[in-house]
Chains A and B, each alone.
Chain A
Amino acid sequence: MLYAVLCYNDESVTSAWSKEEDDRVMRDLTAVQRKYVEAGKLGPVARLLPTTAATTLRHATGETIVIDGPFAETKEQLLGFYLIDCGSLDEALDFARELSSANPSSGSYEIRPLALFKPGELPS
C-alpha cells in the first residue's frame, strides 16, 4: 500500500524562520528521510513554494477561469497530485485545462511551483 503524506503548517510561521532555522529544519527532515530512502520505501519528496505563488484554475459552468491565490475552499479536499515539468505558467495552465476538460466534475486545480524536488526511487 502506498501512502501520500502531505505536509501542512502555518505559512506565516514557516516564512518567519530565519535562513538558519529553515536550514536546520530541512537538514533534520533529510536525516529522517534518508533512513527510508535507504530502505527503498521513500519515493519523491517535494516542497512547495508559498501559497502566494499559486494560481488556481477553476472549472465552473462549462468554462474554466484562472484566479489568483491558493485553492482554499474547505468544502473541497485534496484528492491527489501531479508533478509536471513546464517551461512557463501558461504551459502549466494548459495542462490543467486539459485535465479539467477531461474531468466531469467541477472543482479546481491549484498550480503550485515547487521549491524542492527529490525524485526518490521505489521498487515498482
Chain B
Amino acid sequence: MTDTAWIDLALVSARPQAMGALLRYFRNLDMAEEAFQEACIRALKAWPKSGPPRDPAAWLIFVGRNSGIDKVRRQARETALPPEEMLSDVEDRESELADRLDGSHYRDDILRLLFVCSNPTLPATQQIALALRVVSGLSVRQIARAFLVSEAAMEQRITRAKARVAAAGIPFETPDAADRAERLAAVATMIYLVFNEGYSAMNGPEGVSADLCDEAIRLSRLLLRLFPAEPEIMGLAALLLLQHSRARARFDAHGAIVLLEDQDRRLWNRGMITEALAMIDKAMRHRRPGPYQVQAAIAALHARAERPELTDWEEIELLYQTLERLQPSPVVTLNRAVAVSKREGPEAALALVEPLGERLSGYFYYHGLRGALLKQMGRVGEARVAFDRAIALATNAAEAAYIRMQLDHLAAETGRPDSVKEKQ
C-alpha cells in the first residue's frame, strides 16, 4: 500500500455513513455530495500531516456540514434568501459528533441514503446508477462503462434520477419498525440488482462487471452490519458471496459459458464459500425463511458438493418448492424443473416446463432448457426449434455461443446441417 492509500480506504469506508448524515442535514443529494467532496479534499490535505482522526466519518460529517453551510450562506447573501429555510437540523451537534455518532442514528442515516436510491418511482437501472454514484462513489465514467453506455448518457440518467427523487420528496423522519422492514426489502432488492447487473455482464469488458459484484457484496456487508439479526440480509449476503465465488469458473479461456456441472470446482473461491455457509447456518437458526435465504441455501448445496454427481438434488427440489410458495414465479418453476430432470428424468421435467410456455415465451432460459430436455429425449427436430428460439433471445454473445454449441452437437448427432448457421 502506498503512503496515502489508507486515506482512500478510509474515505471509501466512511462514505455511506458520512453521505447519509449529510443528506439528513441538507435534504438534497447534490448538496450532500458537494459537501462530502469538499470534506474529502480537506481530508487529503489534513490527514497526511495530522494522521487519521479517531473517527473518520464523524470528521468528514463535521467538516462537510460546515462547508455546506458556508456555501448556502454565501449563496443566500447573493440571492438574499434566509438560509435557515433551506437547512434542517443545523443546531450545533459538535459535542455529539465529537463523542462519536450514536449507533442508531448512523444506522437510520445509511438506511435512508440507500432507501433514497432504491426509490420505487425510479426504474431499476436508475436505482442502480444512483446507488453506485451516491453510496459507492463510483465515477460517472466507471458506471457508464459498467452499463456499456456513453458517459453523457449516464450523466443524464443520474441527473434525471436525482430530479425525480427530489420531486418525490424524501421521507426524513426516523422510520418506524414496519416502515423499516419495507425499506430494508427495497434496499436489499436494489443491492441484488447491482449484483445481477455485474453478474450478467460478466463477459463484458474485463474487470468492470466484477467491480459491480464486489460493490454489491460490500453494500450487503454494510447492510448486515447495520442489521446483524436480520436473517434475510444474512441470506442476501450469503447468496451474493456464493454466486460470486464461482466467478473464475463460469467462463472458459475463450469466454464461453461453462455450466455449473462442468465447472472446475477448484477455481471456486473457498474463502467466500466458507463465509457464506457460516451466514446461512446462522440465518437458518432464526426459522424465518425468506426468498434470499432459500436461494442461498440452494447455492450452498451446490457449493457443498465436491463433485457434481454428489449434488443433493432432492433437497434442492424441496427448496425450490419452498421458494415457489414464498415467491411464486414461472422462472422459479423453471429452475425446479432442472432439479426434477436430475432426479426423475427429462419427461417429468418437460411436463413441468410445458405449461410455462405462455408466460415465458420471451425468455432465453425457457427455450434453452426445453431444447436441452427434448434433446435428451431424442426429439431432435423439436429441440432444434427450441434452440433456434433461444438463440434469437440471447442477451449476450456467451449465451448465443452456448446455444450454438448445442445446435452443433445436434447437427453432429444427426448429420444434418445446423439451421442457424445456414441463416448467417
Contact = CB atoms under 8 A, between A and B. Distances in A.
A21 B1 contact: yes
A52 B225 CA distance: 6
A13 B282 contact: no
A52 B222 contact: no
Interface of B: 1, 9-10, 12-13, 214, 218, 221-222, 224-225, 228-229, 234, 237, 271, 274-275, 278-279, 281-282, 285
B214 to A, nearest CB: 7
Tell me the interface secondary structure of chain A in the complex: mixed
7 contacts: A15-B221, A50-B275, A53-B278, A53-B282, A67-B229, A70-B228, A89-B282
Nearest to B57: A12
Interface string A6-19: 00001111011110
Contacts of A88: 281
A49 interface: yes
- What are the 7 closest A-B residue pairs judged by CB atoms, nearest first? A69-B228, A68-B229, A89-B281, A53-B278, A12-B13, A113-B278, A52-B224
B248 to A, nearest CB: 11
A52 B237 contact: yes
A12 B17 CA distance: 11
A21 B10 CA distance: 14
Residue among A52, A70, A89 having the largest count of chain B Cβ atoms under 10 Å: A52
B275 to A, nearest CB: 5
Tell me the interface secondary structure of chain B in the complex: helix
Contacts of A52: 221, 224-225, 228, 234, 237, 279
Contacts of A50: 221, 275
Q: On chain A, which size bracket covers the interface?
A: 20 to 34
Interface string A50-86: 1111010000000000111110000000000000000
Nearest to B281: A89
B275 A49 contact: yes
Contacts of A89: 278, 281-282, 285
Interface of A: 10-13, 15-18, 21, 24, 49-53, 55, 66-70, 88-89, 113, 115
A21 B8 CA distance: 13
A45 B5 CA distance: 27
B13 A13 contact: yes
B9 A115 contact: no
Nearest to B279: A53
Contact of B275 (A13, A18, A53): A53
Contacts of A69: 228-229
A92 to B, nearest CB: 9
A115 B271 contact: yes
Nearest to A113: B278
Given A21-B1, A68-B228, A16 B9 contact: yes
A102 B222 CA distance: 37
B56 to A, nearest CB: 9
Contacts of B279: 52-53
Contacts of B278: 49, 53, 89, 113
A50 B272 CA distance: 11
A69 B227 CA distance: 9
Contacts of B281: 88-89
Contacts of B285: 55, 66, 89
A52 B236 CA distance: 13
A16 B1 contact: no
B138 to A, nearest CB: 13
Nearest to B12: A16
Given A12-B225, A21-B1, 10 more contacts: A10-B13, A11-B225, A15-B221, A16-B13, A17-B9, A24-B1, A52-B225, A52-B237, A70-B228, A113-B275
A115 B13 contact: no
